[in-house]
Chains A and B, each alone.
Chain A
Amino acid sequence: MSHLHPERLAALADGEPTAAEATHLSSCSACAHEIAAHRRLLMLAWQEREALSAPLASWDTLAESLRDEGLLRATPSTAGRGGGTVGGGGVRSPWWVQAAAAVVILAGGMHIGRMTVATSGETTAAVQQTANSRLASNTDTSVAFSSPAEAISVLARAERDYRLAMMYLAGQDTVARTADDPAIYRARLAALDEMAGVALDAVQQAPQDPLMNRYYLTTLGARDATLRQLGEKLPESVQLGGF
């Protein structure tokens, strides 16, 4: 049997194979790999549902329309800012708490990333100085936001920048400049496997929890970068297997 069609592989991400397909998949690592990739895609898509957005309109504009519609009593606004203290509705914690939790993960990830960046060389030192400067400004507690919308917008931008920075670092393989011993990567990989396992358990116990999903996916991202680095450090006669 030839390889399964790409659209059929996409369907099997959450569908049942026929008997013939199941037989093929048991002996074709390429097709099995494709289905595994589609399942990861599904997980990313599912996680996207938990994404938060800065409110697209201001309350003042909306309130004006609601008054025109007769849905809002024509009284002066007394509502406080924030408003994330109401429970229920499928939201376990206020949105700004979830967003803040995301920043904790990002900050932790950035710290780990910084620890792996090469620390010698003038260029590296200059980059480090710039990064430190940026981090210092990012952690300046005197920074104030004028609204929750502004804060969530900054968070969204920071998360995107973080993802792009991780991809860039993986491509640059900065760790390899200071550490050529594959044992370092093996140890890190084993540790990340353990972390991924724990995070996966948490996701399975609380599949709706965006925080646990972020932990899991962040760990997978770090594992991917480590795996690529390890692959480049191994002798040509040794190939990665069993991942």
Chain B
Amino acid sequence: MESDQLLIRRAIDGDERALRQLWSQYAPRIDAVVKRLAGDPDLAADIAQDVWIQIFRALKTYRGDAQFGTWAHRIAVNRTLNALRKVRRLAKVEMDIEEDSVSVEMDSDRSFVAASIEEAARKLPDGARTVFLLHDVEGYTHEDIARELGITPGASKSQLFKARAKLRRLLAHLVDHLPATSRAHVAPAS
């Protein structure tokens, strides 16, 4: 089995088989990140192409300090946010955050039942949605998010907690009545 390092060296040399192998292996995860952040399938497809070109363009700078998947994931997030900013979606994100406009008011969502986190997150304003996805899904810290979005860590936290409060209600059917991490679940006596 070929190591990533060897594969990357061949890919840097322009070997199509190596490039395609890297793409085949990592596209399902990288493209999933792009799709989540973009929110729109057509937009995500356009961004994904650009993301992969950027990943392969930057291969020469990959030093192996992090795993390739982690390194590529960072590029994917950064490139996607840049692309969203270009289409003015992220401008709205930053505006949302500045105005601290997310509300936990749920009246308009009472009839909405989301089947997944991804679906529920689409009900959030762009700003809160982006912060939630970056922190709770992609694992970014508030400091990372602040740098990526040009906001303060405090604003990132504020948006995250608002987003969680809203998602908790949108996904009540999934998160209520299930055992948490406690193991003390005992069937009731008759």
User: Could you list which residues of chain A lie within 8 angstroms of chain B, going by C-beta atoms?
Assistant: 6-11, 13, 34, 36-42, 44-46, 48-49, 51-57, 59, 61-63, 65-66, 69-73, 75, 77-91, 94-95, 99, 148, 152, 160, 163-164, 167, 182-183, 186-187, 189-190, 193, 196-197, 200, 220-221, 223-224, 227-228, 230, 234, 238, 240-243
Known: A53-B32, A62-B49, A186-B187. A223 touches B16 (CB 8 A): no
The stretch that binds A, out of B62-70, B90-98, B147-155, is: B62-70
Q: Across the interface, do B179 and A243 meet the contact criterion of CB distance under 8 Å? A: yes
Query: Can you list 12 pairs linking A and B with CB atoms under 8 Å apart?
Result: A13-B164, A39-B180, A49-B138, A53-B35, A56-B35, A78-B17, A82-B24, A86-B4, A89-B26, A163-B116, A167-B115, A190-B187
Interface string of B176-190 (1 = CB under 8 A from A): 111111011111101
Closest to B29 in A: A52
Interface string of B124-165 (1 = CB under 8 A from A): 000000001000111100000000000000000100111011
Q: Across the interface, do A200 and B183 meet the contact criterion of CB distance under 8 Å? A: yes
How many angstroms from the CA of A227 to the CA of B48 in the assembled complex?
42
| Number of cross-chain contacts by CB at 8 Å | 234
Chain B residues with Cβ under 8 A from A38's Cβ?
164, 168, 175
Q: Across the interface, do A86 and B2 meet the contact criterion of CB distance under 8 Å? A: yes
How many angstroms from the CA of A243 to the CA of B176 in the assembled complex?
11
Q: Across the interface, do A83 and B53 meet the contact criterion of CB distance under 8 Å? A: no
Q: How far is the CB of A213 from chain B (nearest CB, A)?
A: 13
B53, B104, B179: the one within 8 Å of A62 (CB): B53
- Most B CB within 10 A of own CB, among A51, A80, A85, A86: A86
Q: Across the interface, do B28 and A72 meet the contact criterion of CB distance under 8 Å? A: no
Known: A38-B168, A52-B28. A241 touches B188 (CB 8 A): yes
Q: How large is the interface on B (under 10, 10 to 19, 20 to 34, 35 or more residues)?
A: 35 or more
Known: A73-B15, A182-B190. A83 touches B167 (CB 8 A): no
Q: Across the interface, do B32 and A52 meet the contact criterion of CB distance under 8 Å? A: yes
Q: How far is the CB of B91 from chain A (nearest CB, A)?
A: 24
How many angstroms from the CA of A197 to the CA of B185 in the assembled complex?
9
Q: Across the interface, do B53 and A71 meet the contact criterion of CB distance under 8 Å? A: yes
Closest to B182 in A: A36
Q: Is B1 part of the contact surface with A, judged by Cβ < 8 Å?
A: yes
Q: How far is the CB of B95 from chain A (nearest CB, A)?
A: 20
Chain A residues with Cβ under 8 A from B3's Cβ?
86-88
Q: Across the interface, do A83 and B24 meet the contact criterion of CB distance under 8 Å? A: yes
Q: Is B84 part of the contact surface with A, judged by Cβ < 8 Å?
A: no
The DSSP consensus for interface residues of chain A is: helix
Q: Across the interface, do A89 and B67 meet the contact criterion of CB distance under 8 Å? A: yes
Q: Across the interface, do A223 and B178 meet the contact criterion of CB distance under 8 Å? A: yes
Q: Is B36 part of the contact surface with A, judged by Cβ < 8 Å?
A: yes
Chain A residues with Cβ under 8 A from B104's Cβ?
6-7
Closest 7 CB pairs of A and B: A83-B24, A10-B164, A53-B32, A56-B48, A73-B14, A79-B20, A45-B136
Chain A residues with Cβ under 8 A from B70's Cβ?
89-90
